[in-house]
Structure 1
Amino acid sequence: MLDIAIKFLADEVNTHLKKRALSASGLGEVVTGQIVDDAGKWATAADNIGLTLVNIEEDRIMREHLPEYAYVNGSHVVLQPEIKLNLSVLFHTRPSKADKYEQSLRFLSNLITFFQAHPVFTPEEYPGLDPRINKLIVEMLALSTEQLNQMWAYLGSKYLPSVAYRVRMVLLQDVEPQSIGKPITIIETALHNK
Structure 2
Amino acid sequence: MLDQAIRFLADTTNTHLRNRGLTSTNVGEVIVGQLVDDAGKWAIAPDNIGLTLINIEEDRVMRSQLPDYAYVGGSQVLLQPELKLNLTVLFHARPSANDKYTQSLRFLSNLLTFFQAHPVFTPDEYPALDPRIDKLLVEMLALSTEQLNQIWAYLGSKYLPSVAYRVRMVVLQDVEPLAIGKPITDIETALGNK
State the TM bucket, normalised to the shorter chain. over 0.9
Residue in structure 1 matched with residue 63 of structure 2 by the alignment: 63
Tell whether the 8 Å contact from 1:25 to 1:103 is kept in structure 2 after alignment.
no
Residue in structure 2 matched with residue 137 of structure 1 by the alignment: 137
Q: How big is each residue's C-alpha offset from its partner over 1:133-159, in whole Å with a ceiling of 9 and x where there is no partner? A: 111010000000000000000111110
Residue in structure 2 matched with residue 115 of structure 1 by the alignment: 115
SS at match of 1:92: strand
Residue in structure 2 matched with residue 50 of structure 1 by the alignment: 50
**Post-superposition shift, 1:191?**
4.3
Tell whether the 8 Å contact from 2:28 to 2:107 is kept in structure 1 after alignment.
no
Structure 2: runs of 5+ lacking an equivalent = none
SS at match of 1:23: coil
* Partner AA of 2:157 in structure 1: S
Residue in structure 2 matched with residue 167 of structure 1 by the alignment: 167
Tell whether the 8 Å contact from 2:119 to 2:138 is kept in structure 1 after alignment.
yes
CA distance in 2, matches of 1:139, 1:187: 50
CA-atom RMSD, angstroms?
A: 1.4
Number of residues paired by the alignment? Answer: 194
Residue in structure 1 matched with residue 148 of structure 2 by the alignment: 148
Q: What TM-score, normalized to structure 1?
A: 0.96
SS at match of 2:66: coil
CA distance in 2, matches of 1:98, 1:189: 81
Residue in structure 1 matched with residue 177 of structure 2 by the alignment: 177
Aligned-residue identity in percent? 78
Residue in structure 1 matched with residue 6 of structure 2 by the alignment: 6
Tell whether the 8 Å contact from 2:27 to 2:48 is kept in structure 1 after alignment.
yes
**Post-superposition shift, 1:187?**
2.8
Structure 1: runs of 5+ lacking an equivalent = none
CA distance in 1, matches of 2:25, 2:41: 25
**Post-superposition shift, 1:192?**
4.0
Residue in structure 2 matched with residue 22 of structure 1 by the alignment: 22
Residue in structure 1 matched with residue 128 of structure 2 by the alignment: 128
**Post-superposition shift, 1:70?**
1.4
CA distance in 1, matches of 2:114, 2:193: 72
CA distance in 2, matches of 1:56, 1:132: 19
Q: How big is each residue's C-alpha offset from its partner over 1:108-142, in whole Å with a ceiling of 9 and x where there is no partner? A: 00000000000010111111111111110100000
Q: How big is each residue's C-alpha offset from its partner over 1:36-72, in whole Å with a ceiling of 9 and x where there is no partner? A: 0111111111112100000001110011000011111
Q: What TM-score, normalized to structure 2?
A: 0.96
Tell whether the 8 Å contact from 2:26 to 2:48 is kept in structure 1 after alignment.
no
**Post-superposition shift, 1:87?**
0.4
Residue in structure 2 matched with residue 40 of structure 1 by the alignment: 40
2:85 maps to 1:85: yes
CA distance in 1, matches of 2:37, 2:11: 23
Residue in structure 1 matched with residue 101 of structure 2 by the alignment: 101
* Partner AA of 2:104 in structure 1: S
